[in-house]
Each structure stands twice: as C-alpha cells, then as structure tokens.
Amino acid sequence: MKSIRRAFIFFLTFALLACSSADASAPPAQTIENKGSDTLVNLALAWAEKYQEERPDTRISVTGGGTGTGIAALINGSADLASASRKISAEELEEAQIKGVAPLEHIVARDAIAVIVNPNNPVSQLTLRQLADIYSGKIVNWNEVGGEDRPIVKLSRETNSGTHLYFLETVLRLGDKNNKTFFSPDTLLLPSSEGIVAETRQNPNAIGYDGLGYVPSDLKVIAVAKEEGDAYVLPSIATVNDQTYPIARDLFMYTNGEPTGNLQAYLEWILSPEAQALVAELGFVPIK
C-alpha cells in the first residue's frame, strides 16, 4: 500500500513539474502599448479586443488622453503605438529626432467632425465662415444665424486634443496657415467627447463638435457648407468619401520607425477588411 502511495506521489510530483516546465517554456505574450487620441480610443479598444481573440499570444493595452499625450508617450518610449487625430507637429517631430525616435505615420481610418446642437435649436445649417465667426466670438447670439434670441455657448475639446487643433486650423482659420485666429476666451474647454455630448444635450444654447462616431441620435447635427451658396452637407461615410463634407480628416497610428514582429502584424490586420468593418460599425469611415 505504501509503495502504491509513493508511486502516486512521485507521479503527481512529476506531472506538476512537467506542467511547470511546459508553462516556463511557453513564450510570454507580447504586450503592445497603444496610447493617444480620445477620438480613436473606442475604435482602438474594439480592434484590440477582436485581435486578441484571434491572436492570444498578443496583449494590447489601450489608453486615451489625447493625441499630444500619445505622441509624447511614443517619443519617451512608453508607447509602441500613438493614436492620433492629427498629423504630428513640427515641434513634436523635432523633439523625437533629438531623442533618436523616428515617428512613422500610418493612416488607419477617416473621420468626419460633426457640429452638434441641442435638438430644440431651430438652426440646422451653417457655413464654415459662420462657424469660424461663432467660435472666434464675432457671432455671439443665435439670432445672428437664423435662430432664437439666445446667447451662444461654445463648447470645444481641450488644447491637448488633436480634434481641437484640427477644428482650429480647418474651421476657425479656414485652412489658411497665415490666419492667427484663436478660440474666443469664453469657449468652454471639455476633456472628452462624452463631455461635449452631455453639455450639448442639457444646454439649449450650446454648440459643440465631435467625431461622428461619438454623436448620439438624440442630438442635432448641423449641415455645413464650405462657402455661402454651396450645398449644405451632413457628415456621413458617403459624404466623407466623395469629399463633399468639408470637415473631414484622416486618423493615424504612429510607430517608432518601421514596425516589426507582432506590431507589424497588428498594423497589417488593422488594414484588413475584418478590422475596417469595425471602423464603419463605430461610425467612422473605412479607408478600404
């Protein structure tokens, strides 16, 4: 009986050691750190979740904080991927080069910036010039653009947001690099897309802007014309692709040089039909 018990204990010990040895020999899962754009964060999370289902050998950590935060993390080595809703700036590029980092741009999706108001606001269309005048403080009352006699409450993302910078350059400055117009000092700067939506929902005087994928159905989306006399166009996948909606942009991932290994495989997968289908599902515009 004792010999049987000894044999069983020896077998159990051997099995545990074998399992331990097998676990030790298995290659550890590689983690990809993805930081940056709040516009891209929901899409990046959806990509990461789907990819990890198919490739359990890869772990993908996704955090937001804004485009500037993501690019800074790539430069200081705490991120493998920087999500960005704008191109890297000359200042960021110079800092990267000083630190021996070579940011490489990858276009991963496209987006429309929707201008939103409270559903009780009768205004339904604006030109880019009118939007520029509203956000710079030249137009301060809704009755100046066909609405009721109410003060305009301007909502914007914070300055670290790539969406903030894009809206500044494309709308307030109308794409003119020599234009030095800034947001009016009374513009409310909010830290997230959700904050823009919540404030617009509860404030009948508010106007805000957000990535189309973040706009819920209970808010009113403004049709925008590039110039007076042009057609007023609502943002959609179709109007971004045919370039009739005037506030649309590319969305990016940045790597330090050419990606290799698991990082290269992940970026290639992001461009696949499977991953680009998630782009459309979340309200963004697929690039393929």
Question: Residue 232 and residue 128: Cα distance in Å, rounded?
Answer: 10
Question: Residue 81 and residue 84: Cα distance in Å, rounded?
Answer: 10
Question: Residue 160 and residue 9: Cα distance in Å, rounded?
Answer: 62
Place of tokens 């909010």: 190
Tell me which of 3.30.110.40, 3.40.190.10, 3.40.50.20, 3.90.180.10 is the CATH number of domain 111-248.
3.40.190.10
Fold classification of 30-110+250-281 (topology level): D-Maltodextrin-Binding Protein; domain 2 (3.40.190)
Q: What's the per-residue H, E or C state across the chain?
A: CHHHHHHHHHHHHHHHHHHHHHHHHCCCCEEEEEEECHHHHHHHHHHHHHHHHHCCCEEEEEEEECHHHHHHHHHHCCCCEEEECCCCCHHHHHHHHHCCCCEEEEEEEEEEEEEEECCCCCCCEEEHHHHHHHHHCCCCEHHHHCCCCCECEEEEECCCCHHHHHHHHHHHCCCCCCCCCCCCCCCEEECCHHHHHHHHHHCCCEEEEEEHHHCCCCCEECEEECCCCCCCECCCHHHHHCCCCCCEEEEEEEEECCCCHHHHHHHHHHCCHHHHHHHHHCCCECCC
* pLDDT for 222: 98
Tell which residue, 79, 81, 82, 108, has the closest CA to residue 279: 108
Per-residue pLDDT of the chain (288 residues; tens, 9 = 90+): 444 334 333 333 333 334 444 444 445 668 999 999 999 999 999 999 999 999 999 999 999 999 999 999 999 999 999 999 999 999 999 999 999 999 999 999 999 999 999 999 999 999 999 999 999 999 999 999 999 999 999 999 999 888 999 999 999 999 998 999 999 999 999 998 899 999 999 999 999 999 998 899 999 999 999 999 999 999 999 999 999 999 999 999 999 999 999 999 999 999 999 999 999 999 899 986
Residues in the chain: 288
Kindly report the pTM of this predicted structure: 0.79
* pLDDT for 27: 55
Q: Is 65 left (phi over 0), alpha (psi -120 to 50) or beta?
A: left
* pLDDT for 119: 96
Residue 174: other Cβ atoms inside 10 A: 16
What are the C-alpha distances in Å from 224 to residues 18, 123, 170, 221, 227? 67, 11, 13, 9, 9
Place of tokens 């590029």: 93
Phi, psi of 200 (to 5 degrees): -65, -40
Place of tokens 């680009």: 276
The residue ranges of every structural domain in the chain are 30-110+250-281, 111-248
What residues contact residue 267 under an 8 Å CB cut-off, 6+ apart? 81, 106, 108, 253, 255, 259
* pLDDT for 30: 87
Half-sphere exposure of 208 (CA within 13 A, CB side): 31
Tell which residue, 113, 68, 110, 66, has the closest CA to residue 210: 113
